[in-house]
Amino acid sequence: MNYARPAFGDHARHAQGRIRTLAPGVCIAFVIAMAATFLGNHYGAPVMLFALLIGLALHFLSQTEPCAAGIEFCAKSLLRVGIALLGARITFDQLAALGAGPLILVLICILATIGFGLLAARLLGRGWRLGILTGGAVAICGASAALAISAVLPRHSNLERDTLFTVIAVTTLSTIAMVAYPILFSKLGLSDQQIGVLLGASIHDVAQVVGAGYAVSEEAGDTASYVKLLRVAMLPIVVIVLGVVLRAKGSERQGAVPVPLFTLGFAGLVIVNSFGLVPEPARLLMVDSSRWLLVAAIAALGVKTSMSAMFRLGPRHSILVVAQTGFLAALAVALLFLLQVS
């Protein structure tokens, strides 16, 4: 019996179509990245900040059909590749120097922030579902956590609306934090490594953590990336526990638990880099590629972000997420000094 197989030409045409779809948005993101790099090198300001600000000024491009797909691809897929490649910068010796303090800090922050979200939602007259949704997004990894937690929450009429609000809110607040937190934390007289711990522990989305960290220094960026990925690694655990608890209480909603594969790539590169298994030319290529991918991702994220969208949403919803964000930042600072994380 003969089975029809797709011709090689069909795959090639599909790939070409995909490239044509993504090319305009990808080109825009990398043009912004090149402009931001030029400005950063010539004016001594953070490249990531320039990329973000230029991207924000070009937000209208994310609303046009030719550019939207490529911009989304850069802000999500290329971001994950860039984060994974960051592992080529880090070794076990660097992580051992941080000690157990960051892990303890991250665990306490996640549990306390989700608990605070439930309490704040009750005080503001919002439902417990919104408290868990926003609390988990703020505590773990922003928009990705919001989507994952939404997948296991019981169905209700406002779930999609609340999920969309949470994604917009945490992305907007992360963008603001990316600019404000490095300035605020530097006023505390902390070392670059301590600033990196705070940035990784308190900013919601991975992209903005990376942008804020490397805007301070390479040491702060490496530390912030590691601490942030500790939070990201908690996402499957939180989603599994939440799903089990809800099913035990009779929830009918079943949700797949997402596996953050880019964290596995990051961890794998840290391992091989620590044992010296990566040739130096290849390591340097990965480090440079990571930098360009991350700058392009930050640019695309800026293009995607609508500052006005945040202000069109209900005040109590907004107050809830802002309160959780402030709580997380304050708790992270307090724990940094209490645990004497250096």
Helices first, then strands: H and E counts in the chain: 17, 0
pLDDT at residue 254 above 80? no
pLDDT average, residue stretch 81-103: 79
Q: How far apart are CA 101 and CA 338, in angstroms?
A: 10
Among 257, 246, 256, residue whose Cα is nearest residue 128: 246
User: Which amino acid is residue 27, in one-letter code?
Assistant: C
DSSP assignments along 193-214, one per residue = HHHHHHHHHH-SSHHHHHHHHH
How would residue 233 be classed by pLDDT, with cut points 50, 70 and 90?
confident
The tens digit of pLDDT for each residue in 257-285 reads: 455 577 778 888 888 988 888 899 999 99
Kindly list the domain boundaries of the chain, sorted by start residue: 93-289+309-338
Question: Do residues 242 and 132 make contact, with C-beta atoms less than 8 angstroms apart?
Answer: yes
Q: From CA 236, how far away is CA 159, in angstroms rounded?
A: 20
**The pLDDT of residue 237:** 78
339: phi then psi, degrees, rounded to nearest 5? -85, -5
| pLDDT > 70? residue 9 | no
Which tens digit of pLDDT belongs to each residue from 25-39? Answer: 999 999 999 999 999
Closest CA to 212 of 177, 178, 183: 178
Number of other residues whose CB lies within 10 A of the CB of residue 279: 9
Residue 203: pLDDT above 90? yes
Q: Is the dihedral of CA 73, 76, 79, 80 positive or negative?
A: negative
Question: Rounded to 5, what percent of the chain is helix, strand, coil?
Answer: 80, 0, 20
Distance CA 207, CA 221 (A): 11
* Contact by Cβ (8 Å): 39, 50: yes
Cα distance between residue 141 and residue 139, in whole Å: 7
pLDDT at 335: 92
pLDDT higher for 215 or 263?
Answer: 215
